[in-house]
Amino acid sequence: MPVTHVSHRGLTLPAVGLGTYKLKGAVGAEAIARGVQLGYTLLDSAYNYENEGTVGEGIRACGEPRGGLIVTSKLPGRYQRHDDALVTVQESLYRTGLSNIDLYLIHWPNPAQGLYVEAFEALLEAREAGLISHVGVCNFLPEHLEALKDATGEYPEVNQIELHPYFPQTEALAFHRERGIITQAWSPLRRGGELFEERAITAPAARLGVSPAEVVVAWHVAIGSLPIPKSAHPDRQLANLRAQDLELTPEEVAAITALGRPDGRMKNQDPAVYEEF
């Protein structure tokens, strides 16, 4: 049985999705088309990545029917006002060339701006209008999620957060699980580097005869996180996707989680104070 994630409103997502940050232009569209042909069914994009057009082109170029593909985009901080948010969703549709976007996320809460509830309400309206099918957020802390629930009676269906072995977000995962919110992990591989040298990762990689990146993907799947690794290369795309079937022992999973540290964020982007427009 393939692993899937199901939200409180029935959104069903696969075990692994494809990140697309920096995949742009003809090369990016080809990489995205390859990803879909290899079996990815969840594509993560954002208005601010300036590649929604590339995602749309990649989907058309791969020649597969759209059915079953889940396309994601994100609302930038500068467009969180109600009317701006609705226009931005329309603009995302024009850029992708799609008539509906499956999953639309608020990119950052930007709490000092005080507009994320208004933005969420606008996205619920866009859902009512059929422009998008599901509404989620990124980088929301529990207090932000509770503010949405208090104002609208609804939690978002997805919270996409920074999550990797140096920042395993164990409490956020449990908080989301109890509320039917799917946890997606951004920068799930922490963009490689020193993480891939850790013994807790290289040891299972040697045991299984796979790369450190594949072990990290398998760890995400084991802890209930949905990773969206980005790769421009078909061999790595395929390896990352297939890694969902690798079996780590409970001890191996625990040893990787133990790499977590309070300052493990990649760029110290704490959603309580960080703002992105």
Q: Which residue has the closest beta carbon to ligand NAP?
A: 19
Q: Of 21, 40, 47, 49, which residue is the catalytic one?
A: 49
Q: What is the DSSP letter of 18?
A: E
CA within 13 Å, CB half, 232:
10
Q: How far is the CB of 275 from ligand NAP (least distance, A)?
A: 12
234 close to 34: Cβ distance less than 8 angstroms: yes
Q: Which residues lie closer than 8 Å to 5 by C-beta, 6 or more apart?
A: 12, 13, 14, 15, 182, 224, 226
Q: Which of 186, 215, 226, 264 binds ligand NAP (CB under 6 A)?
A: 186
Q: Is 233 in the site for ligand NAP (CB under 6 A)?
A: yes
Strands 12-14 and 4-6: antiparallel
Q: Is 54 in the site for ligand NAP (CB under 6 A)?
A: no
Of the pair 16, 222, the CB lying nearest ligand NAP is at: 16
Q: What is the DSSP letter of 243?
A: G
75 close to 88: Cβ distance less than 8 angstroms: yes
Annotated binding residue 8: no
Our CA dihedral for 243, 247, 252, 256, rounded to 10 degrees, sits at: 30
Q: How far is the CB of 185 from ligand NAP (least distance, A)?
A: 8
CA within 13 Å, CB half, 184:
29
Q: How far is the CB of 134 from ligand NAP (least distance, A)?
A: 16
Of the pair 222, 243, the CB lying nearest ligand NAP is at: 243
Binding to ligand NAP (CB under 6 A) within 102-161 occurs at 107, 138-139, 160
- Return residues touching ligand NAP (CB under 6 A): 19-21, 44, 107, 138-139, 160, 186-192, 211, 213, 228-233, 236, 239-240
Annotated binding site: 107
The residues carrying an active-site annotation are 49
Annotated binding site for substrate: 107
